[in-house]
Each structure stands twice: as structure tokens, then as C-alpha cells.
Amino acid sequence: MFGKLFRKKPKEPVFVNLDFYANKDKYFVRLQPWDWFTDVSIYTIGLVDKKPTMLTMDPWTQEVYLNADGQSTVSEYVNRKAQEYVNSRSIVPVKLGQTIVEELENLVHKYGAIELKDDKTILPLKLAFPISEQKDLN
């Protein structure tokens, strides 16, 4: 009797509708080397207004950037993030897809830090690992 009462419900997959976003089926890929700025935040070196600039990122932007490994489409990534909310028994934010797309678009168009591609892409080592760890890779 109590087994049915306290049994956890299976977690159903969540799907965030991204029909509003034309690039939802594109893979997103890092373009700039990065390293740790603090224990929890990263920086990249990029061009802003054609000038070399060290870019630090807020948590959502950083999350999107670090997941720009060329192996997931935008839609796959958004739905994976939504599933993380479900798995942690949290409510999926209503604007999750929109927020991620906005961060992605800024990284593409404003900072040139990532690009969208039609096919999966394997990152070169200089983009896959933090700069501080690259000396160990050679």
C-alpha cells in the first residue's frame, strides 16, 4: 500500500518548443580560446569593435559558451537543460528557450565567440581545453 504512495513518478522528458528560432537545428561551436578567470568564471579573448578584448561572462552566457562543443544542436541543448530542471524537481522556466537563444545570439553576433554550423564539429584542442591546461597537451 505505502509502496505505491511513496513511489517516485518516472521523470518524463520535457521538450521546449523552439519553432520561433530558425537556427534551432544548427550545431554551436566555440571560436575563441578560453581560460579560468576565477574559480567559477571564465574569460575569452575576442574582438569587440575590432579591438582585442578580454571578455568575462555572466553565468548563463558562460554555460552556453562552455557547451558550444559542436556536438549538440541548439534544440538538443535547450531540451537537455530543461530536463536538468525536471531531474532536480524544479520548474522549467517559461522563458528557458528564449533566454538560451538570446545568449547564443549575443555570443554569435555581438562577440563572435561561437558560430552555428550545419554539421557536428570536433573542437581543436586549443578550443576544447582551458589555455592554462594546454601546455600539458603538447
Determine, yes or no, domain membership for 7.
no
Whether residue 3 lies inside any domain: the answer is no
The CA-based angle 109-77-16, given to 5 degrees, is 100
Amino acid identity, residue 100? I
User: Residue 10: its pLDDT value, please?
Assistant: 46
Would 10 be classed as within a structural domain?
Answer: no
* Domain boundaries, position 46: 19-134
pLDDT at position 2 is 53
Q: Phi and psi dihedrals of 127, rounded to 5?
A: -105, -20
Task: Specify whether the CB–CB gap between 82 and 93 falls below 8 A.
Answer: no
User: What's the CA gap between 20 and 123, in Å, rounded?
Assistant: 28
Full-prediction pTM beyond 0.75? yes
Within a domain: 117: yes
How confident is the model over 3-59, as pLDDT tens digits? 555 555 545 555 567 888 999 999 999 999 999 999 999 999 887 778 888 999 999
Report pLDDT digits (tens) over 54-98: 999 999 999 999 999 999 999 999 999 999 998 888 888 888 999
Q: How many domains does the chain have?
A: 1
- Has residue 2 been placed in a domain? no
CA distances in angstroms from 20 to 44, 91, 93, 98, 101, listed in the order given? 29, 22, 17, 9, 10
Q: Give exposure, 110-131, as e/b (b: 16+ Cβ within 10 Å).
A: ebebbbbeeeebeeeeebbbee
- Domain membership flag for residue 1: no
